[in-house]
């Protein structure tokens, strides 16, 4: 029997639990070639009503835009064990794969969940029946774990359903809103408030292993950068300077923080060694240099600069400090993020007066505008490189939206109340 300690750990985190504005998924678009899968309702060997794990898995898979789920109401049977699966029936429903499983109470609030994935045409297991142990409060986590398994088995790409998102909300009176930094599951469920303030909060970011976060919060009407350990809530304020203190970004090894200070008159990129507090200035130009983000290999930092007139993305080599321009299309490009494989650069591009999320192929230079929503900003890439979450404005309200890197899959995460902004997709938790 396998345990999933990480997921369990996450649920015992010390968050204050103000969870009113849950996010709801709406798929607005989909890919052409979908994998047909039947996610059968999991068996329940007890009498207690349990969360519908199969339902959560099904919406995970659908949200990826790569799967077509066979509706429950057309299923001829709901097998929970392989010996009860009649492959012919599933072939008739045009399902290529069937996921079945069952739940059993072990003791107290701990359950055993078994699941197996079957290939309908080959009439055999894609993977042998697997068993996980989980507390009732963590059923959603268990479902996301199974979704990750299925996704990886069938696409060859690691799933990102068990990841988290950070985002900022502004609620209440618009002239005097309450700002909150929240963390939620990648599907928007289980939102938890990390920090609340009457002064602005912005630029949330994850450390490489997901244990720490950083963000900018105003105090006494001045910006400060904070580092916080998620599990303990322990917080450290980075030494602040006159002027800007912004855009914290964690190095791939988690030891350094790139940030923006204007202590020497105009915004420049600095790198702070967190352990030694040593501060190194990286850029040196009279223009605006801001929005640093590390390359996945840690050798360079990409950032926004208006040194060429309009803001564009540049790259600075951390050894030689030489700077080269990276983006050339569009009226401007800002706040770049790189996919984990270093292949693509995602930016906020302004073209024809519109701000949208664009994707630049770092090999070919080809640029594709991925979104056509309004005032798009703050793109953040899933750790498997498949999806980009970003903030946009819908019906005059700030919401979060997701687009696949091929631009084919789009869905929204509208919130019940207030403005939602600045999503930051977690890495895989280590």
73-78 contacts, C-beta under 8 A, 24 or more apart: 75/38, 75/40, 78/40, 78/41, 78/43
Q: Among 119-127, 152-160, 329-337, 361-369, which window interacts with other proteins (CB under 8 A)?
A: 329-337
Q: How many other C-beta atoms can be found within 10 angstroms of the C-beta atom of residue 133?
A: 15
Q: Which of 251, 290, 358, 360 binds other proteins (CB under 8 A)?
A: 290
By the rule CB under 8 A, 244 interacts with other proteins: yes
Residues 171-200 that bind other proteins (CB under 8 A): 174-175, 200
Query: Does position 422 bind other proteins by CB under 8 A?
Result: yes
370 touches other proteins (CB under 8 A): no
Distance CA 309, CA 314 (A): 13
Sign of CA dihedral 242, 315, 311, 424: negative
Q: Which stretch binds other proteins (CB under 8 A): 2-10, 45-53, 148-156, 285-293?
A: 285-293
Distance from the Cα of residue 84 to its chain's centroid = 38
Provide, rounded to whole angstroms, the least separation between the CB of residue 347 and other proteins.
9
The three-class DSSP label of residue 84 is helix
CB of 245 to other proteins, least distance (A): 9
Query: How many Cα atoms within 13 Å fall on the side-chain side of residue 21?
Result: 22
Binding residue for other proteins (CB under 8 A) from 377, 408, 414, 429? 377
Under rule CB under 8 A, residue 286 binds other proteins:
yes
Q: How many residues bind other proteins (CB under 8 A)?
A: 48
Residues 417, 412: Cα–Cα separation, whole Å: 15
Q: Closest distance between other proteins and the C-beta of residue 121, in Å?
A: 48
**Helix, strand, or coil (residue 104):** strand
Is 241 one of the binding residues for other proteins (CB under 8 A)?
A: yes
Residue 104: alpha-carbon gap to chain centroid:
31
- 200-219 mask for other proteins (x: CB under 8 A)? x-xx--------------xx
Taking the complex as a whole, how short is the minimal distance between the CB of residue 334 and other proteins, in angstroms?
Answer: 4
Q: What are the Cα distances from residue 236, in Å, to 115, 212, 227?
A: 43, 11, 5
The nearer residue to other proteins, 328 or 374, going by C-beta atoms, is: 374
Token output for 74: 């057309």
Asked if 325 is part of the footprint of other proteins (rule: CB under 8 A), the reply reads no
Nearest-CA neighbor of 226 among 263, 264, 195, 253?
195
Q: How far is residue 395's CA from residue 374's CA, in Å, rounded to a whole number?
A: 10
Q: Which of 31, 103, 98, 111 is nearest to 63 (CA)?
A: 31
Q: Smallest Cα–Cα separation from 99: which of 63, 49, 65, 60?
A: 60
CB of 406 to other proteins, least distance (A): 23
Nearer to other proteins, 200 or 342 (CB): 200
Pick from 307, 312, 379, 378: nearest CA to 351? 312
Tell me: does residue 141 bind other proteins (CB under 8 A): no
At its nearest, how many Å lie between other proteins and the CB of residue 117? 41
How far is CA 218 from its chain centroid?
25
β-sheet with 268-273: strand ranges across: 245-250, 256-261, 268-273, 279-281
Is residue 288 a contact residue for other proteins (CB under 8 A)? yes
Indicate whether 378 belongs to the interface with other proteins (CB under 8 A): yes
In the complex with other proteins, the residue whose CB is nearer, 175 or 275, is 175
Choose which of 22, 44, 78, 393 interacts with other proteins (CB under 8 A).
393
Closer CB to other proteins, 78 or 224, in the complex: 224
8 A C-beta contact, residue 262 and residue 246: no
Q: Which is nearer to other proteins, 126 or 279 (CB)?
A: 279
| 11 neighbors 4 (Cβ within 8 angstroms) | no
Whole-number minimum distance, CB 286 to other proteins, in Å?
6
| 355 makes contact with other proteins (CB under 8 A) | yes
**65 vs 223 by CB, closer to other proteins:** 223
Site of interaction with other proteins (CB under 8 A): 174-175, 200, 202-203, 218-224, 237, 239-244, 246-247, 260, 262-267, 286, 288, 290-291, 304, 311, 332, 334-335, 348, 350, 355, 374-375, 377-378, 393, 396, 421-422
């Amino acid at each position: 029997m396998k345990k999933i300690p990480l997921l369990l750990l996450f649920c015992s985190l010390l968050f204050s639990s103000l969870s009113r504005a849950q996010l709801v998924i709406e798929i607005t678009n989909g890919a052409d070639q979908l994998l047909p899968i039947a996610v059968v309702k999991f068996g329940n060997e007890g009498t207690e009503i349990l969360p519908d794990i199969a339902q959560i898995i099904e919406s995970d898979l659908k949200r990826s835009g790569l799967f077509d789920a066979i509706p429950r109401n057309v299923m001829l049977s709901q097998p929970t064990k392989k010996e009860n699966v009649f492959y012919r029936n599933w072939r008739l429903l045009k399902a290529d794969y069937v996921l079945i499983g069952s739940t059993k109470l072990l003791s107290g609030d701990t359950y055993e969940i078994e699941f197996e994935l079957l290939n309908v045409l080959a009439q055999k297991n894609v993977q042998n029946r697997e068993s996980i142990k989980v507390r009732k409060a963590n059923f959603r986590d268990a479902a996301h774990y199974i979704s990750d398994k299925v996704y990886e088995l069938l696409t060859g790409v690691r799933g990102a359903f068990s990841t988290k998102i950070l985002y900022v909300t502004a609620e209440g009176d618009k002239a005097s809103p309450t700002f909150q930094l929240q963390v939620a599951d990648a599907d928007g469920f289980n939102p938890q408030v990390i920090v609340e303030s009457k002064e602005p909060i912005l630029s949330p970011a994850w450390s490489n292993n997901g244990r720490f976060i950083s963000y900018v919060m105003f105090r006494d009407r001045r910006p400060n950068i904070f580092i916080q350990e998620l599990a303990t809530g322990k917080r450290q304020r980075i030494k602040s300077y006159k002027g800007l203190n912004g855009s914290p970004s964690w190095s791939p090894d988690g030891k350094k923080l790139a940030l923006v200070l204007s202590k020497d008159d105009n915004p420049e990129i600095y790198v702070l060694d967190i352990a030694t507090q040593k501060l190194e200035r990286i850029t040196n130009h009279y223009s605006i240099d801001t929005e640093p983000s590390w390359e996945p290999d840690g050798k360079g930092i990409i950032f926004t600069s208006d040194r060429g007139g309009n803001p564009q993305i540049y790259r600075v080599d951390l050894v030689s400090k030489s700077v080269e321009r990276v983006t050339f299309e569009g009226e401007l490009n800002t706040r770049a993020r790189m996919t984990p494989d270093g292949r693509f650069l995602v930016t906020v591009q302004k073209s024809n007066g519109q701000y949208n999320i664009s994707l630049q192929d770092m090999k070919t230079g080809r640029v594709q505008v991925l979104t056509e929503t309004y005032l798009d900003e703050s793109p953040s890439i899933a750790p498997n490189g498949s999806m980009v979450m970003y903030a946009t404005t819908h019906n005059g309200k700030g919401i979060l939206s997701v687009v696949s890197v091929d631009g084919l899959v789009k869905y929204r995460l509208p919130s019940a109340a207030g403005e939602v902004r600045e999503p930051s997709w977690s890495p895989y938790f280590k």
